[in-house]
Amino acid sequence: MRMQNRLLGIHMIVQNEEQHLPRCLDSLKQAGSEWFITDTGSSDRTADIARTYGATVIHASWEDDFAKARNISLPLATTEWILCLDADEYVIEGLEQLMNVLPNVHKSITRLRIMIENQYGEGVEDKILSHPVRLFRAQHGYQYTGRIHEQLFRQNTNHQSSNVTLNKSIGESGIHLDSLEPSAVDDSADVDVDVDVEVEEEPLAPLRLGHDGYLATVIAKGDKAKRNLHLIEQELTDDPGDPFHLYNLGVTRCQLGDLEQAAKAFRESLKLAEWQAPYRSTLVRDLAKVLVELERYEEAHLLLSGESQRYPAYADLHLIYGEVLEQQGLQERAYRAYARASTCGPSPNDHGRSGSDEAVTKAFYVTEAGSCSYRACTSMARIAQKRGFGQEAVRLYELALEHLSTYRPAWVGLADALQQQGVSDESIAARLLHLANRLHQIHGTDHADQTNRPHPSVEKESELVLMQILYALADCGAYKQALLLLGGEASHIHVPAGDQLHWMLCAGQVTDAWNLAESCWGEADRADHKRTSVSSIITSGVEDDADMNLQSDERNDWALACWASGRRLTSSFFANVSSLEKGMWKVADRLLFEYRPVTLSTSTSVPLVPDASDGRLLQWGEPVQRIARKLVARTIQSGQLVIAQQLHERLARIMSDTESSEAAIRQSYASLLHRHGYTMIAAEMLIQCMAEGELDAEGLFCLGETLYSKGHVEQALSLLEQALEQKPDFSQARTGAVVCYLQMALGLIRQERNRSSEAGALVNQQLALEQQLRTAEGIPWRTVYHAKERRNHHAGTSASETAESGAADLSVHDRQG
């Protein structure tokens, strides 16, 4: 039986929350509080569940007004304090401390902030942190107003003053736009940023809540964005031009994927918002993120150059500003922006690992977890690595991991930086494990109990760290080391079968890869259709994946494991393929094993598709052809180049609506090789295409980029100019050409200074050109290669020799070539 007290009451509004409500109420049990749950029309078991926890359930009709629903239970409170929650929120920690703190809060303080971690992704670090006012004293005149993003206000009962305290809540905003999909903002768990006409102290209470209403899987199940849009439009009809409603309109437009309209609403809101409006800083942040997503870097630069000064302690603005500067090639300034973000903590916005206590600042910004710590350090490390400061990059990646030991981008960056410095795969693995042990000792000491035993959360953290190391090794191309670790120290770590399969293929362990695929997804024994385990390979945790629907990469890798080990695709494989693409797989299988060219009297080789009925691939259109192209790219990524070239050439002949020349087919394959780091092999093929007079803009760019990286600036410029003649809007080629011009101009100035002692006047011009060159080279125009692609640069010695010897002759293949 839940004990009643007169200290804290929980007040909620709900509708069809049977999936979330038990977790929320379970996390509040120890409070022994008074619970009022207003149900606005649930058709599921929500009300029954609430009653089993001893809550008082109030049934009310939904009137398109969140404030009206919130206010129903407030006059019924018999407790001293009210805590307003939503069903998809739950206590992480601090409830016991809160119950100890509340009796001692000074009577002049009537409102308290709490911290909410809004999870938007699956990673530990994927959180938006906010500090809304959710705790307030009962019977002190507090009510809510507003149809949506309801605002807490207090009518002052002192007859000597008619002041009204108003708190404007912004729908737990803070938009996350790391991918093309903007994260939706769910108003059922609003992040409250408070606007006060009458200033009142609002300390931060020790309570910390979690909220997962922003997860894509959760958002996809509901239709709240359209409902929110309807309510916000009603508010704007009643109060046109209200900057707060315009801001929330922008947030909702982001939810609906309309970034252009979101940017428009944010701009209008920013024009009208008062400088002192506390939601204004978040408005700036969200507008900047939308502009970056729309690649409007000039506008974002103009916005943040001033606003980052207005809010100097807002780490998120400095991080976004750094990203903008980096995209504009201003790497030194970007580094300084990231460094400034790292100086914004500690604050209540970034509790570091495991929610450790830190100093509280006056600014309560809506911010992304780690903005002033591990994210800032990782961004600084990335710039240092680009600029060639490898040791500094390693130091900064390790510093990021000291802030959050499970932060995958820092582990991946660290492995990549070490590989770039020539460290062997064995040494990289040893270095990462040594760092993991050091971090474990530090964190274990911080969390050890009185018996000096590590806290369970530390043990879980150690498992997550091992997982990050496994993937960091794979991401840097050290597949064998990842598999060795998975078979040894990390044998208890669950890695999906699909990932293990891909690592085995990339490591050249094709037989093991085939055995793993068949044991998980095939019929190892067709007599009794039983799946058998394979003791000679790593299969930790793969049983759970056996009956799952295969992803496209898993199907591709299964097929590659068959082909690379000399086997045809099996009936088990085809049983896991949709009817749409089954024909494509049959054709691909036959092209590899039954393909025979027929030589005619004209000495022309004509490829045959073994079964003419499968020639219907031509009729399947773009979706199936896209699957075929992805298969070829995955084959190259796995290092199975012989199979990749055969597939590409033979599929290209039957997928093209028009007859493609050998040179055109070879060129498209060379472009794929170039993107995956096989630059020398690609260069040899592209040179052959150029000799035959067939090279499109992409091929010219790839060859020009390779020659530039080898120091052949003039030849590279000639090719980039030809690419621009074919494709005038080719921005990467245009930037590359500018870089080449600057390189050549600098070369002439240096030559003149060496020739004449009276050329001192050229010093300033040289310095200016060097700065312009640094900026131009910093613009992302070149193909981005990480460790696993860098390993492929010199694959094929003959290709390397051909590229080097042919560099001097490339100028012959001019615009008329």
Structure tokens at 185: 């903002």
Query: Cβ contacts of residue 281 below 8 Å, gap of 6+?
Result: 311, 314, 317, 363, 365, 366
191, 130 in Cβ contact below 8 A? Answer: yes
Q: In which residue are the tokens 């070239």 written? A: 645
Q: Check residue 431 and give its pLDDT.
A: 97
CATH dotted code for 580-812: 1.25.40
**Alpha carbon separation from 146 to 66, 68, 152, 366 (Å, rounded):** 7, 8, 9, 21
Q: Give the H or E element holding residue 152.
A: strand 151-155
Structure tokens at 567: 């086997």
Q: Three-state SS string across 21-49, please?
A: HHHHHHCCHHHCCEEEEEECCCCCCHHHH
Q: Check residue 408 and give its pLDDT.
A: 96
Mean pLDDT of the chain: 83
Q: Check residue 352 and give its pLDDT.
A: 39
Residue 505: how many CA atoms within 13 Å on its side-chain side?
30
Give 815 or 432, the one with higher predicted confidence: 432
Q: Three-state SS string across 690-737, please?
A: HHCCCCCHHHHHHHHHHHHHCCCHHHHHHHHHHHHHHCCCCHHHHHHH
Q: Of 221-235, 278-292, 562-576, which gets the smallest average pLDDT?
A: 221-235
Q: Check residue 801 and give its pLDDT.
A: 43
Helix or strand or coil: residue 10?
strand
Domain boundaries, the chain: 8-120+127-156+165-294, 580-812
Sign of CA dihedral 687, 693, 699, 704: positive
What is the number of other CB atoms lying within 10 angstroms of the CB of residue 476?
29
Q: Is the model's pLDDT at 361 over the cut of 80?
A: no
Q: Check residue 222 and give its pLDDT.
A: 57
Eight-state DSSP code of residue 808: T
Q: Of 357-361, 428-432, 545-549, 579-583, which gets the smallest average pLDDT?
A: 357-361
Q: Check residue 624 and give its pLDDT.
A: 82
Q: Is the model's pLDDT at 800 over the cut of 50?
A: no
pLDDT, average across residues 155-176: 47
Taking the mean position of all CA atoms in its chain, how far away is CA 516? 30
CA 505, CA 507: separation in Å to the nearest integer?
Answer: 5
Eight-state DSSP code of residue 673: H
Q: Residues 201-260: pLDDT tens digits? A: 689 999 999 998 777 666 666 577 888 889 999 999 999 999 999 999 999 999 888 999
Q: Residues 144-164: pLDDT tens digits? A: 998 888 888 887 655 443 344
CA 91, CA 109: separation in Å to the nearest integer?
Answer: 23
Q: Residues 712-755: pLDDT tens digits? A: 999 999 999 999 999 999 999 999 999 999 999 999 998 888 88
Q: Is the model's pLDDT at 81 over the cut of 60?
A: yes
Q: Is the model's pLDDT at 190 over the cut of 50?
A: no
Q: Check residue 755 and give its pLDDT.
A: 81
Q: Check residue 191 and give its pLDDT.
A: 40
Q: Is the model's pLDDT at 699 over the cut of 80?
A: yes
Q: Is the model's pLDDT at 612 over the cut of 70?
A: no
Give 799 or 789, the one with higher predicted confidence: 789
390, 417 in Cβ contact below 8 A? Answer: yes
Please give the share of the chain, as a percent, with pLDDT higher than 70: 78
Q: Residues 679-693: pLDDT tens digits? A: 999 999 999 998 888
Q: At what angle do helices 697-709 and 731-755 cross, to 10 degrees?
A: 30
Query: Cβ contacts of residue 536 below 8 Å, gap of 6+?
Result: 512, 515
Q: Is the model's pLDDT at 46 over the cut of 80?
A: yes
pLDDT, average across residues 252-280: 93
Q: Is the model's pLDDT at 172 over the cut of 60?
A: no
Parallel, antiparallel or unpaired: strands 8-14 and 34-39: parallel
Please give the share of the chain, as a percent, with pLDDT higher than 90: 63
Q: Is the model's pLDDT at 700 over the cut of 60?
A: yes
769, 743 in Cβ contact below 8 A? Answer: no
Query: Cβ contacts of residue 424 below 8 Å, gap of 6+?
Result: none
CA 683, CA 705: separation in Å to the nearest integer?
Answer: 10
Helix or strand or coil: residue 93?
strand
Query: Of 149, 305, 168, 295, whose CA–CA distance to 235 is shortest?
Result: 149
Q: Is 371 exposed, middle or buried (0-12, 13-18, 19+ CB in 10 A)?
A: buried
Q: Residues 469-490: pLDDT tens digits? A: 999 999 999 999 999 999 999 9
What is the number of other CB atoms lying within 10 angstroms of the CB of residue 565?
13
Q: Of 270-284, 543-557, 633-647, 705-719, which gets the smallest average pLDDT?
A: 543-557
Structure tokens at 76: 């019924």
Q: Check residue 216 and give its pLDDT.
A: 65
Label residue 3 by pLDDT band (50, 70, 90). very low
Q: Is the model's pLDDT at 63 over the cut of 50?
A: yes
CA 381, CA 782: separation in Å to the nearest integer?
Answer: 20
Q: Of 79-88, 248-257, 362-371, 607-616, which gets the smallest average pLDDT?
A: 607-616
Q: Residues 760-790: pLDDT tens digits? A: 678 888 899 999 999 999 999 999 999 999 9
Q: In which residue are the tokens 């007040």 written? A: 11
CA 281, CA 274: separation in Å to the nearest integer?
Answer: 11
Q: Is the model's pLDDT at 531 over the cut of 70?
A: no
Q: Is the model's pLDDT at 448 over the cut of 60?
A: no
Label residue 348 by pLDDT band (50, 70, 90). very low
pLDDT, average across residues 409-425: 97
Label residue 332 by pLDDT band (50, 70, 90). very high
Angle of CA points 499, 505, 510, to nearest 5°: 125
Model pTM score: 0.85
Find residue 166's DSSP bridge partners.
153
